[in-house]
Amino acid sequence: MKVYHGSTIVIKSPIVCAGRERLDFGKGFYVTDIKAQAEMWAKRVGYIRNSPAIVNVYRLDIDKVKIKFRYHYFDEYNQAWLKFIIENRNGIITDDIYDVVEGGVANDRVVDTVEAYMANLMPLDVALQRLSLHRPNSQLCIKTQAVIDTCFHFVESYQIP
């Protein structure tokens, strides 16, 4: 599977523990199989940091991941996804129960719903109904270095003008 990581630097050998805390799926190295999504993220981060927008391209042996590691896939925005996102963003999940998590991004299309629910401004049933209107984008969070070391291979990087 070809995956992409938007950044401001070339990352040939990702280090999982260098990731930020309290993201959608917790701390880890985030990639997507949607090239345009990675390019948009690279441009956004590049603009914020006044740095070049770089997309790193990798090969991920997802079949090997599914066999050898603890892999979890959220196929839709649902109550389980919402609970997992909120627990990670609030720092509640401290033990990594998965090595790789794949599923929808809490992006600009759905983040208002997530945040309104987190702030108790929206009941669960309304939040779930609103989330059901969206098709999830794809993100994968690689949470353990062993996955990077055995199933992940740098292909190339390119700068976005």
Contact 86, 117 (CB under 8 A): yes
2, pLDDT greater than 70: yes
Q: What is the pLDDT of residues 66-119, one digit of tens each?
A: 999 999 999 999 999 999 999 998 888 766 789 999 998 877 778 889 999 999
Confidence of residue 44 (pLDDT cuts 50, 70, 90): very high
pLDDT at 61: 98
- Vertex 82: Cα angle to 112 and 80 (nearest 5): 160
- Tokens representing residue 120 in the block: 């108790």
Distance linking the first and last C-alpha atoms of the chain: 26
DSSP-assigned letters across all residues of 122-155: S-HHHHHHHHTTS----EEEE--HHHHHHHEEEE
Tell me: the pLDDT tens digits for 127-161?
Answer: 999 998 888 888 999 999 999 999 999 999 999 98
* Mean pLDDT of the 5-20 span: 94
Nearest-5° Cα angle at 34, 28 to 38: 60
Categorize the per-residue pLDDT at 58 as very low, low, confident or very high, splitting at 50, 70 and 90. Answer: very high
Out of 2.40.50, 3.90.175, 1.10.10, 2.30.29, which CATH number does the structure's domain 2-160 have? 3.90.175
- Domain residue ranges in the chain: 2-160
69 neighbors 100 (Cβ within 8 angstroms):
yes
Q: What is the pTM of this model?
A: 0.91
CA–CA gap between residue 85 and residue 83 (Å, rounded): 6
* The pLDDT of residue 95: 67
